[in-house]
Amino acid sequence: MQQRRIGSFSVSALGLGCMNLSHAYGTPPAPEAATALLLRALEHGINFFDTAALYGFGANESLLGRVLKPYRRQVVLASKCGMTGVDGRRVIDGRPEVLKRTCEDSLQRLQTDVIDLYYLHRWDKKVPIEDSIGALADLVNAGKIRSIGLSEVSAPMLRRAHAVHPIAALQTEYSLWTRNPEIAVLEACRELDVTFVAFSPLARGFLTCTLRDPELQLEAKDIRRQMPRFEAANYAKNLELLAEYYRIADEITCTPAQLALAWLLAKGEYIIPIFGTRQAEHLDDNVGSVAVKLDRSVVERLDTLINQQTVTGPRYNAATQQEIDTETFRIAA
């Protein structure tokens, strides 16, 4: 497995996003299946694992704590605070005392003395970012966390946070069909020497050749049912992009999923995609992307084929968009 850098850590070029083992994508897999998947990722050389207090309202951290404890010195463990489950509801709360309490709870569930990378999951717009980052800086000084990350924030917010304490990583969605980081955040990360962690690199299944009809294939509680791009009319138009996409994958003899991940890996050494999966065969397939080398002409063809102008539907619905701070493309009148 190739290596890339986050702060002082050397991590696998691909990380494993663990959310869907406990949260948001319908019925979670059985504990035995989730355990087997995590161990298989380790066998492939993946040493960067991403979780959050929110995922399964603590269940995902408990899963990783139980499975990864024997391998703790071999892995880089990332979790998140600032968005948690309270009385069965998702709550965004960036107050310093809440972040510190969440960290203590996460340390217990993860069965570790220190979290390697601790993200502010969402910026609580009622709390100055400086106050939230100040609390995380206190946790660094106390030896509870080793480095600080941000999730779903804009370039100006990254700079404000970085002025309080060095930010090791910024995480947001980035794939061929979600190009918002290209507006300003990628440049800010390069400027400040911040690693960019790309979640949902496979476009939430769109680029894997496995999701043809969301209405029939997605469970009732799958979060994609609330996303405009997966609505029937929009998704039908988006599917029209895939014929040429599959042709490109065939030309370079890789799978569609490998092509999506290879595109991200080719975008810069400071970018680390974290994919999520529940199936061993998909894990094996995704790991194969590190061997796929794309020349500039292929990257340009993909850039032209699937982008913010050719994809139909916004990334999030209006209510969710209000909760995040990422830049958005202007919609032509």
Both tokens of residue 208? 């894997």
71 carries an active-site annotation: no
Q: Which of 25, 55, 118, 174 is catalytic?
A: 55
CATH topology of domain 3-204+265-289: TIM Barrel (3.20.20)
Q: Cβ contacts of residue 200 below 8 Å, gap of 6+?
A: 17, 173, 174, 175, 178, 276
- Check: CB of residue 249 under 8 Å from CB of residue 162: no
pLDDT at position 333, please?
A: 40
**pTM reported for the whole predicted model:** 0.96
Q: d(Cα 52, Cα 275) in Å, to the nearest integer? A: 15
What percent of the chain clears pLDDT 90, i.e. is strictly above it? 96
SS3 1: coil
Cα–Cα dist 110/58, whole Å: 9
The interaxial angle of helices 242-251 and 256-266, nearest 10 deg, is 80
**pLDDT at residue 331 in the model:** 61
Q: Report pLDDT for 35.
A: 98
**Model confidence pLDDT, tens digit, residues 170-229:** 999 999 999 999 999 999 999 999 999 999 999 999 999 899 999 999 999 999 999 999
3-state secondary structure 104-136: HHHHHHHCCCCECEEEECCCCCCCCHHHHHHHH
For 42, half-sphere exposure in the C-beta direction (CA atoms, 13 angstrom radius) is 18
Find the mean pLDDT for residues 225-250. 97
Ordered by start, the domain boundaries in the chain are 3-204+265-289
* pLDDT tens string 96-149: 999 999 999 999 999 999 999 999 999 999 999 999 999 999 999 999 999 999
- Confidence grade of residue 330 (pLDDT, cut at 50, 70, 90): confident
Q: Which residues contact 112 (CB under 8 A, 6 or more apart)?
A: 65, 69, 72, 77
* pLDDT, tens only, 12-47: 999 999 999 999 899 999 999 999 999 999 999 999
The span from the CA of 202 to the CA of 265, in Å, is: 12
User: CA 323 → CA 68, 153, 267, distances in Å?
Assistant: 32, 10, 28
